[in-house]
Amino acid sequence: MPSQDLPASAKPYWIGYLLALILTGAAFALVLTNALPRAETLYAIAALAVVQTLVHLRFFLHISRKTTPVETMVSLLFALVLIAIMIGGSLWIMTDLDARMGM
């Protein structure tokens, strides 16, 4: 009778899947239970999103410093800088508009 163990190639995917479920559940639990004040909840959700992004990069896309070519890492970092500029600029504009409309 064959063993019911997972093949070695599937284990990282299952670990990543379970970590992603836990991180998603933690974010939903924070919102549903109102365990923290609103500002701290937003910071916690942002931190959970960053950790989940790292989990996806490591376990599903197999991106790590040791096995990824330099060109791929540079393009990934460039994309992250562009995303940060877009998000930061959008928040800056929206905050300024909110202050101007506050009268």
DSSP string, the chain: ----PPPTTTHHHHHHHHHHHHHHHHHHHHHHHT-S-HHHHHHHHHHHHHHHHHHIIIIIS---TTTS-HHHHHHHHHHHHHHHHHHHHHHHHHHHHHHHH--
Q: Is a pLDDT exceeding 80 seen at residue 2?
A: no
pLDDT of residue 6: 66
Higher-pLDDT residue of 65 and 17 is 17
* pLDDT at position 103 over 70: no
pTM for this structure? 0.70
Q: For 64-96, what is each residue's pLDDT tens digit?
A: 778 778 888 888 889 999 999 999 999 999 999
